[in-house]
Amino acid sequence: MTRLSALALGLAVLAWVAQANGADASGKSMQSKVSVSPSCKGRPAKVDDEGFVVIGGIEQWVTAKGDSCANPILLFISGGPGNPLSGISDSVYGEGQRDFIIVQWDQRGSGMTYGRSPPAPDEKLTIERMAQDGNELAGYLAKRYGKRKVILWGSSWGSILAVHMAKAHPELFYAYVGTSQVVNSVETQSESYKKLLALATSTDDKDALAVLEQVGSPPWTDPRSFGKVRRIIRKYEAKVTLPPPDTWHRAPAYTTPKAEADYEAGEDYSFLNFVGMHGDGMLSQVDLPKLGTDFVIPVFFIEGAHDLLAPPEMARRYYEAISAPQKDWVLLEHSGHDPNQEVVDAEYKVLRERVLPLTRDR
């Protein structure tokens, strides 16, 4: 990034922070209400916003992009935790900007947010705190872009957080779309381990079998176990799924040395909070059915048939137990846990054909 473009990005960030806080350039408070986006004043214009918004008492990085402010808001809750997709959103989800204002959020402890608002040495992430952040952001977005509600969309870890958000404040959302849905940590890890063990045994994969024997059956108390098993999952999923396109890439602002260092540090911090130093992290607390299986908003699941991290059988049982005004299930034959073009195309199809009509009242 050139010094000029870095300065321009910095000014844009400061401008959005000032708008979010209701402050002038000196930092003095002008108003407590959320300012309406300039793109939404008068005739709806193209939305292209990025910057830090004060959410949960800290500055968090948010991007919002769409061909028109008349589009409904699509709030994406990324996975990891610690793997925000704000950097690659244009290349992966750019087509969706035609019909939606696509919002990417670097969650507390990740990406640009980690760099701007690093956690205190003893600060721990919790599902409750991050769900509060997400719902605060949803309310902010609705006011800023003049909408009644937003569409909630979560993937992997984001599917855990999104369900917590939807159950706590369903009035904020038109619908929930979940991909690579995680349901229950104990049952999911157990099912995943059994599947991997069967695959490795059937192919006499001595390397994989050695790792699986070394980490043992879950739940694990060593944080490195999750990462070791994750590498095996990716190896086996790659054999039967379509790879992501070569055209997916990070925007230049996310490839600077600082941005990359912040991303890596946030990823490490978030991962340790997720699994815990002794298997006692946020993952150990995941049991979505305990939140209740009755939803007052429509629910749509899009799952990879070869997902070995969050096996689709688990999501299917959860889906069948769910009561909702509308619901639908899509199973993809060439996909696993991580996104590829088949996943993105299926998500966009559901969002355009099933969810978009729900937003006509805006």
Band (pLDDT 50/70/90 cuts) for residue 22 is: very low
Domain end point (choices 197, 217, 240)? 240
What order of strands is seen across the sheet that includes strand 299-304? 47-55, 58-66, 101-105, 73-77, 150-155, 173-179, 299-304, 327-332
Q: What is the pLDDT of residue 42?
A: 87
The mean pLDDT value for 281-308 works out to: 98
Q: Using CA atoms, how far apart are residues 301 and 316, in angstroms rounded to an integer? A: 9
- Rounded to the nearest integer, the mean pLDDT of the chain is 91
Region for residue 229 given its phi and psi (left: phi exceeds 0; alpha: psi -120 to 50; beta: otherwise)? alpha
Owner of token pair 């321009």: 8
Looking at the fold, whether 147 and 283 belong to one and the same domain comes out as yes
Looking at the fold, whether 286 and 200 belong to one and the same domain comes out as no
The mean pLDDT value for 252-279 works out to: 97
Looking at the fold, whether 134 and 266 belong to one and the same domain comes out as yes
Looking at the fold, whether 88 and 171 belong to one and the same domain comes out as yes
Looking at the fold, whether 148 and 290 belong to one and the same domain comes out as yes
Looking at the fold, whether 70 and 213 belong to one and the same domain comes out as no
Give the residues across from 55 on adjacent strands.
Answer: 58
Is 338 inside a domain boundary? yes
The mean pLDDT value for 307-313 works out to: 97
Looking at the fold, whether 297 and 332 belong to one and the same domain comes out as yes
Q: What is the pLDDT of residues 296-305, one digit of tens each?
A: 999 999 999 9
pLDDT over 60 (residue 16): no
- Lowest-confidence region among 2-16, 106-120, 138-152: 2-16
Q: Using CA atoms, how far apart are residues 351 and 354, in angstroms rounded to an integer? A: 6
Q: What is the pLDDT of residue 31?
A: 26
Q: Using CA atoms, how far apart are residues 242 and 332, in angstroms rounded to an integer? A: 11
Domain span holding position 291: 3-25+35-182+246-359
Is 30 inside a domain boundary? no
Q: Using CA atoms, how far apart are residues 39 and 29, in angstroms rounded to an integer? A: 23
* pTM of the predicted protein model: 0.90
Counting residues of the chain whose pLDDT is more than 70, the rounded percentage is 90
The mean pLDDT value for 44-72 works out to: 97
pLDDT over 60 (residue 248): yes
Band (pLDDT 50/70/90 cuts) for residue 20 is: very low
pLDDT over 50 (residue 82): yes
116: domain CATH number?
3.40.50.1820
Q: What is the pLDDT of residue 8?
A: 37
Q: Using CA atoms, how far apart are residues 28 and 261, in angstroms rounded to an integer? A: 32
Band (pLDDT 50/70/90 cuts) for residue 116 is: very high
The mean pLDDT value for 44-54 works out to: 97
Looking at the fold, whether 232 and 258 belong to one and the same domain comes out as no
